C-alpha cells in the first residue's frame, strides 16, 4: 500500500515537474488530466498523411483537420487503415480501448502523432488538444498567416473530463444572434471542450423559435421597438414606434445549428421560459394570461421591481402564463411537441425562474384552481404548473430541467434542477434523488461585470475571472453522483452584439471550461493566467474578442476621516506595475508606481491608473472620479 502510494507520488512529481519545465511550450485550456513530456519535436511533413481507423465516423473530422492544416504547398492525404500507416497523424477510434467516455490519449514521438479514443468525441477532443500544441497560426480561419514548419513537442497526454455536462448558455431572446453568429460561438466553445449550448429561446423581450402550429409567436412575439442604451431603463415605447428589432430561427435554421453543433460534439439544450418571463408569448396570444390587458413584447422598459431587503419582487404587468387555464397547457403541448421533434438532446428546459405572483394573488381563476386542486399557497400553484409541464415534456419522451424555483411547492417527480442561486437547492434536490446542473451566479454569470464599474459596461453585479476560476461544482452536502456538471450563463440584456458577447464570455469561460473538465487538483491560478494569455494570442489571430479586465486594478476605497479618502489597489494577475496620476493627465510608465495605500489629495478630481508589464501597457486607462470614490467610501 505504502509502496503504491510512493510510486503514485513519484509519478505525480514527474508529471508536475515536467509541466513546470515545459509550461511555456505547451499551453492548453482546459488543462489535460495528465501530460508527460518527451525530448524533441515531431515536424509535420509537407506530404502529410492523416490515417483514420474508421471511415464512417472519422471522415468528417479528418476533412476539418485537413482544412485547418492545409497551408501553401503542402499536401495532405487521408487514408483509412486500422493500423498507423505512416509517420503522420493517426486517428484511432477503438471502441474497446480502455479510455473513458469523451477521453482520449495523444502521443507524439518520432513516428508521428497518434490520437486514440473509445468514442468519436474523444477523437475530437484529442484533435482540439493537438491544435493547441501547434503554433498559433492554426487559428487563422482563412489560412493566410501560415508559414514556417509546424512542429509538435513529443508528449504523452491522457485526458478525460471531470464532468459530462460542460455548458454555456446564450440568451438569444433579449438580443438576437444570427445562425452564423451562433455557429461562431459554437466554434469557440468547441476549442475549449464545452459540450452543451443552452439556448434561452424565449423571454419577455422576444420569442426566437418558429412554432409552426402557433405562427403568431414569431410574427408578433419576435419583434419589439429598437432601443439602445441601458436595457431595463428605456422609456416606454409609444404606439407610433415601429417594432423593427428582433428575429427568430426557422425550424430549418435550428436544424442547421443543431447539425453544426453536433459536428463539434455540442448538444443544443432548448429553453422556453415559463410561467414567468412569458410576455413575448402573451403579446402573441393574450388568452394565455390570467389577467386581461393589452400586451406588447417588452422593449427594455422596466417590467419587474426588485425591492430588495427580503421583499418579494413583483411585475408591473402580468408576464406569466396562467396556470389555471387549460388553454395554457394546450399551448405548452403544441410548443413542446415541435421542440421535442426538433431537438435530439434528451432534456428540455422549461425555465421556471422569477415568476411574479402579484397578479396571481388577485386572480379569481387562480383562487378557483387552488380550491379545486387543494393548493395551499402560490408556491403550490407554481408547483402544480411545473408538474403539469413535466407531464407534457415526459409524454414527448424528454426529460425536464428547470431553474431552482421549480423546487418551490414541491419538485416534479422526474425533474432535473439547474442551480443558479444558493447551493441549498442543489443540496436539497440531490437529497431528493434529482439530477442537478450547477451555474451559481456567484461564479458563472457571464453577464456580470468582470472588472470595476469605472471601466466596464454597467451591470448590477460583478464576477472577476479569479472568482470564476474558484467555482467548485459539487457543493458541500450535495450527493456528488447527481451533480451532472455545470455551465456559465450569458444573459444578454446589456449585450447588443456578438463582439460584446465574446468580450463577456472570454476569458471567464476559459475558467469554467477548466473547472468542468480538468481534475480539481490540477487547478493553479498563476499557471492558468499564463495559459489564458496564450489563448488571447490565438483569439487575436482568430478575430475573437475577449476582455482584458484581468489586467485592470481592483480598487478598495475607504474613508480615513470625514474629508480624506484612502485608496488601496491590487491586481488579479501578479507581476504588474500600476502607474497613477491625480492631476488629470494620463499616466504611463514614467509616472509614479503604486507601492501602497494612496491618500487622495484634498482637491483632486480623479485618480487615473494603468497597469504595465515589462515597460508595456497591458491594462486600460481607468478613470476613477473622486465623486465616485466618495460615494463608495460612504462620504457625501
Q: By the criterion CB under 6 A, which residues form the site for ligand ACM?
A: 353-354, 403, 420
Q: Name the minimum Å distance from CB 331 to ligand ACM.
A: 22
- The position carrying cell 400553484 is 381
Candidate list 277, 349, 434, 579, residue with the active-site label: 277
Residue 65 neighbours by CB under 8 Å, 6+ apart: 50, 89, 127
Q: Does 354 qualify as catalytic in the annotation? A: yes
Q: Name the minimum Å distance from CB 353 to ligand ACM.
A: 4
Rank residues 331 and 403 by Cβ distance to ligand ACM and give the closer one: 403
C-alpha separations of 370 from 321, 374, 375, 459 in Å = 16, 5, 4, 39
Q: Does 561 qualify as catalytic in the annotation? A: no
Q: Nearest CA to 547 among 454, 446, 475?
A: 446
Give the rounded distance of the alpha carbon of 417 from its chain centre: 17
Residue 356 CB coordination number (10 Å) = 22
Rank residues 263 and 379 by Cβ distance to ligand ACM and give the closer one: 379
Candidate list 187, 301, 353, 354, residue with the active-site label: 354
- Closest residue to ligand ACM, judged by C-beta, is 353
Cβ density class 511-539: b for 16+ within 10 Å, e for less: bbbbbbbbeeebbbeeebbebbebbbebb
Rank residues 193 and 198 by Cβ distance to ligand ACM and give the closer one: 198
Residue 598 CB coordination number (10 Å) = 18
Q: Nine-digit cell at 552?
A: 485592470
Strand partners, 159: 104
Distance CA(636)–CA(618), nearest Å, equals 34
Q: Name the minimum Å distance from CB 173 to ligand ACM.
A: 12
Q: Name the minimum Å distance from CB 313 to ligand ACM.
A: 11
What is the secondary structure of 6-32 as a DSSP string?
Answer: HHHHHHHHHHHHHHHHHTTT---SSPP
Strand partners, 486: 166, 438
Rank residues 421 and 527 by Cβ distance to ligand ACM and give the closer one: 421
Q: Name the minimum Å distance from CB 141 to ligand ACM.
A: 33
Rank residues 117 and 417 by Cβ distance to ligand ACM and give the closer one: 417
Rank residues 76 and 199 by Cβ distance to ligand ACM and give the closer one: 199
Rank residues 245 and 403 by Cβ distance to ligand ACM and give the closer one: 403
Candidate list 92, 171, 203, 273, residue with the active-site label: 203
Q: Name the minimum Å distance from CB 354 to ligand ACM.
A: 5
What is the secondary structure of 457-479 as a DSSP string?
Answer: PP-S-B--HHHHHT--SS-TTS-
Q: Name the minimum Å distance from CB 356 to ligand ACM.
A: 12
Q: Name the minimum Å distance from CB 171 to ligand ACM.
A: 9
Rank residues 336 and 420 by Cβ distance to ligand ACM and give the closer one: 420
Question: Which regions of 142-229 does DSSP assign to beta strands (E)?
Answer: 151-159, 165-171, 196-200, 202-203, 206-207, 223-224
Three-state secondary structure call for residue 337: helix
Distance CA(331)–CA(282), nearest Å, equals 11
Sheet with 554-559: list strands edge to edge. 554-559, 565-570, 598-599
Residue 396 neighbours by CB under 8 Å, 6+ apart: 336, 337, 339, 340, 341, 348
Could you list the active site residues?
A: 203, 277, 354
Amino acid at each position: 500500500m505504502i509502496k503504491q502510494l510512493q510510486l503514485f507520488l513519484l509519478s505525480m512529481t514527474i508529471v508536475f515537474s515536467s509541466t513546470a519545465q515545459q509550461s511555456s511550450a505547451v499551453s492548453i485550456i482546459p488543462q489535460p488530466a495528465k501530460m508527460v513530456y518527451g525530448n524533441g519535436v515531431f515536424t509535420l511533413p509537407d506530404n502529410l498523411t492523416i490515417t483514420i481507423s474508421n471511415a464512417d465516423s472519422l471522415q468528417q473530422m479528418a476533412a476539418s483537420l485537413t482544412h485547418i492544416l492545409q497551408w501553401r504547398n503542402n499536401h495532405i492525404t487521408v487514408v483509412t487503415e486500422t493500423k498507423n500507416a505512416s509517420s503522420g497523424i493517426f486517428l484511432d477510434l477503438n471502441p474497446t480501448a480502455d479510455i473513458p467516455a469523451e477521453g482520449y490519449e495523444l502521443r507524439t514521438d518520432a513516428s508521428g502523432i497518434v490520437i486514440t479514443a473509445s468514442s468519436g468525441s474523444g477523437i475530437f477532443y484529442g484533435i482540439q488538444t493537438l491544435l493547441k500544441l501547434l503554433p498559433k497560426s492554426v487559428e487563422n480561419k482563412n489560412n493566410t498567416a501560415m508559414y514556417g514548419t509546424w512542429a509538435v513537442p513529443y508528449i504523452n497526454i491522457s485526458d478525460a473530463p471531470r464532468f459530462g455536462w460542460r455548458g454555456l448558455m446564450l440568451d438569444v431572446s433579449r438580443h438576437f444572434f444570427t445562425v452564423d453568429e451562433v455557429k461562431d460561438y459554437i466554434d469557440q466553445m468547441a476549442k475549449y471542450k464545452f459540450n452543451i449550448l443552452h439556448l434561452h429561446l424565449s423571454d419577455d423581450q422576444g420569442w426566437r423559435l418558429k412554432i409552426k402550429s402557433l405562427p403568431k409567436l414569431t410574427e408578433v412575439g419576435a419583434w419589439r421597438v429598437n432601443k439602445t442604451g441601458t436595457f431595463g431603463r428605456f422609456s416606454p415605447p409609444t404606439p407610433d414606434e415601429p417594432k423593427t428589432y428582433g428575429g427568430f430561427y426557422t425550424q430549418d435554421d435550428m436544424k442547421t445549428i443543431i447539425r453544426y453543433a453536433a459536428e463539434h460534439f455540442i448538444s443544443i439544450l432548448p429553453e422556453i421560459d415559463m410561467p414567468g418571463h412569458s410576455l413575448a408569448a402573451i403579446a402573441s396570444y393574450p388568452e394565455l394570461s390570467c389577467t386581461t390587458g393589452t400586451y406588447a413584447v417588452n422593449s427594455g422598459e422596466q417590467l419587474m421591481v426588485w425591492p430588495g431587503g427580503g421583499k418579494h419582487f413583483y411585475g408591473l404587468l402580468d408576464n406569466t402564463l396562467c396556470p389555471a387555464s387549460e388553454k395554457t397547457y394546450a399551448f405548452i403541448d403544441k410548443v413542446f411537441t415541435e421542440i421535442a421533434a426538433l431537438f435530439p438532446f434528451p432534456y428540455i428546459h422549461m425555465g421556471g425562474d422569477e415568476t411574479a405572483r402579484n397578479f396571481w394573488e388577485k386572480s379569481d381563476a387562480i383562487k378557483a384552481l387552488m380550491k379545486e386542486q387543494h393548493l395551499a399557497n402560490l408556491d403550490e400553484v407554481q408547483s402544480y404548473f411545473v408538474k403539469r409541464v413535466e407531464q407534457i415534456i415526459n409524454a414527448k419522451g424528454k426529460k425536464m430541467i428547470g431553474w431552482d424555483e421549480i423546487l418551490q411547492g414541491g419538485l416534479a417527480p422526474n425533474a432535473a434542477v439547474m442551480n443558479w442561486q444558493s447551493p441549498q437547492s442543489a443540496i436539497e434536490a440531490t437529497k431528493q434523488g434529482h439530477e442537478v446542473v450547477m451555474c451559481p451566479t456567484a461564479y458563472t454569470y457571464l453577464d456580470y461585470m468582470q472588472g470595476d464599474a469605472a471601466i466596464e459596461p454597467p451591470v448590477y453585479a460583478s464576477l472577476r475571472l479569479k472568482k470564476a476560476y474558484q467555482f467548485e461544482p459539487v457543493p458541500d452536502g450535495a450527493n456528488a453522483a447527481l451533480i451532472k456538471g455545470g455551465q456559465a450563463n450569458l444573459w444578454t440584456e446589456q449585450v447588443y452584439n456578438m463582439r460584446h458577447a465574446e468580450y463577456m464570455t472570454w476569458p471567464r469561460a476559459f475558467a469554467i471550461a477548466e473547472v468542468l473538465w480538468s481534475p480539481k487538483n490540477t487547478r493553479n491560478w498563476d499557471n492558468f493566467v499564463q495559459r489564458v494569455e496564450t489563448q488571447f494570442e490565438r483569439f487575436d489571430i482568430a478575430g475573437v474578442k475577449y476582455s482584458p479586465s484581468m489586467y485592470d486594478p481592483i480598487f478598495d476605497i475607504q474613508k480615513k476621516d470625514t474629508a480624506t479618502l484612502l485608496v488601496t489597489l491590487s491586481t488579479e494577475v501578479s507581476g504588474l506595475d500600476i502607474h497613477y496620476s491625480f492631476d488629470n493627465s494620463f499616466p504611463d510608465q514614467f509616472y509614479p508606481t503604486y507601492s501602497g495605500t494612496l491618500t487622495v489629495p484634498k482637491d483632486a478630481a480623479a485618480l487615473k491608473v494603468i497597469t504595465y508589464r515589462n515597460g508595456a501597457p497591458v491594462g486600460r486607462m481607468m478613470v476613477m472620479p473622486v465623486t465616485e470614490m466618495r460615494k463608495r467610501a460612504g462620504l457625501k
